Amino acid sequence: MKLKLRALLTLALILPIAGMAKTKAKPAPQAQTNRLTRVVKVWAYSKDMGAASKVKNVFKKDAPTITVKLGFQDLTGKEIRASRGILRFTTFFGEGIYDLSWEAVMPIAPGRSAPMEWKLKRANFASDEAFEKFKKTPLDKMQQTWWPTVVVLADGTQLKP
């Protein structure tokens, strides 16, 4: 009886392992590539703390702000009139820190770049913790991913992913 039980247990352990050897490994899913990342490039290069000024009946005291300076570069052979997308800030492990909804309506010549500045208030963030995490984490400790949603060329052509 003991011998039969031992044989059954051994088979129960060996069969699943043998079955695994016959199955092929599935390829890792590829990240969806957005073709617009080859048309326009956006990146943050500076982040500073500031304060919004007192405004009568709006702010009772100076509200803290984070000033983010961005670079915007036209990678096409045509002039860009406008661009819209999200600049996602994450940890190096992919944990979300902040999604900056980005829109620029300004002409930019082919191959040229232009600076932009965004002032983010606490109200732009989901929580005080999210605001503090973005404020305290240096840019070189964050990964930036640019997800363009639309680019408008000077001739009116709209490019979408």
Is residue 101 one of the residues assigned to a domain? yes
Is residue 3 one of the residues assigned to a domain? no
**Vertex 124, ends 40 and 149: CA angle to 5°?**
25
Is residue 11 one of the residues assigned to a domain? no
Is residue 92 one of the residues assigned to a domain? yes
Q: How far apart are CA 108 and CA 121, in angstroms?
A: 28
Is residue 18 one of the residues assigned to a domain? no
Is residue 54 one of the residues assigned to a domain? yes
Tokens at 1, concatenated: 């009886």
Q: What is the pLDDT of residues 103-143, one digit of tens each?
A: 999 999 999 999 999 999 988 999 999 999 999 999 999 99
The CATH number of the domain holding residue 76 is 2.60.40
**Domains: count for the chain:** 1
Q: What integer is the mean pLDDT of 30-52? A: 78
pLDDT tier at 64, thresholds 50, 70, 90 = confident
Is residue 149 one of the residues assigned to a domain? yes
Q: Classify residue 57 by its DSSP letter.
A: T
Higher model confidence: residue 110 or residue 33? 110
Placement of tokens 């005080």 in the chain: 128
pLDDT at 34: 75
Torsion of CA 96, 98, 103, 104, to 10 degrees: -110
Domain that holds residue 143: 35-159
H or E stretch at 2: helix 2-22
**Can you give the pTM of this predicted structure?**
0.69
Backbone angles phi, psi at 84, to 5 degrees: -145, 145
Q: How far apart are CA 157 and CA 78, in angstroms?
A: 11
Q: How far apart are CA 82 and CA 88, in angstroms?
A: 19
